[in-house]
Structure 1
Amino acid sequence: MPILTNTAEQSDQPRRGAVWSIAESERELDSNLIRLPAGDSIAAHVGAEVDTLIHVVRGDGILLTEAGEEPLRTGDVALLPRRTLRGFQAGEDGLEYLTVHRRRQSLRIQSGPSGA
């Protein structure tokens, strides 16, 4: 299995957002390393049509869910079921977490049967 990245050796740029994503086109999984600077947040929103696993690789913060607030710290792993509420608030040291989920299929226009 090829090593795709090392989460401990990521560049300081960008300071916010997706720091790394899987680039290989032929895959069934998507994964992103998300970075939030200290005090930054991602507003609560309903997730997509895929279950998402998150792993906190650095920092701390809060996971906002329908059930309330859950503290996050380095090493935590959480499952966010599809179509559920989630949001993130970074703590004093910022927050970096890896997401892993089934690859979402982009919309494709398909032709109908012949003669249709």
Structure 2
Amino acid sequence: MPILTNTAEQPDEPRRGPVWSIAEPERELDSNLIRLPAGDSIPAHVGAEVDTLIHVVRGDGTLLTDDGEAPLRPGDVALLPRRTVRGFRAGAAGLEYLTVHRRRQALRIQSRPGAV
């Protein structure tokens, strides 16, 4: 069983967004380690066509959904069903969380049936 990364050993940079992602091309799952600096946020939006599991690795913050706001702290795990509203707001310590979801197929340009 190959170790892909260690979330506790990621460089501690004030960088926003994905700091790690699965790179293996032949996989059925996607996973990303997302970092938001203190006070930063990802506005509430409708999620993609896949269920997403999140695991808070470090820091703290708030999960924003149609049901309201829920505090996030290290160790918390949440399931965000496909096509539901979600957003994130980092607390004073910033927020870092791991996402896991079924891999979405890349968009491909195809010919129409019967086209030459």
TM-score range normalised by the length of the shorter chain: over 0.9
How far, CA to CA, are the matches of 1:101 and 1:53 in structure 2? 6
**Distance in 2, Cα, partners of 1:53 & 1:37:** 21
Change (3 A) 1:93 1:14: closer
Matched, 1:4 2:4: yes
CA RMSD of aligned residues (A): 1.6
* Kept after mapping to 2: 8 A contact 1:50/1:101: yes
Structure 2 unmatched ranges of 5 or more: none
In 2, distance between residues paired with 1:52 and 1:45?
A: 14
1:61 alignment counterpart: 61
**3-state SS of 2:8 partner:** helix
Provide the residue aligned with 2:97 in structure 1. Answer: 97
Is the Cα contact below 8 Å between 1:19 and 1:33 reproduced in 2? yes
SS of 1:71 mapped into structure 2: strand
Matches within 5 A, 1:34-49: 34-49=34-49
- TM-score, structure 2 normalization: 0.93
User: How many residues are matched?
Assistant: 116
**Equivalent position of 2:33 in the other structure:** 33
Q: Which amino acid aligns with 2:18?
A: A
8 Å CA contact 2:56–2:97 kept in 1: the answer is yes
Identical aligned pairs, as a percentage? 84
Match of 1:16 in 2: 16
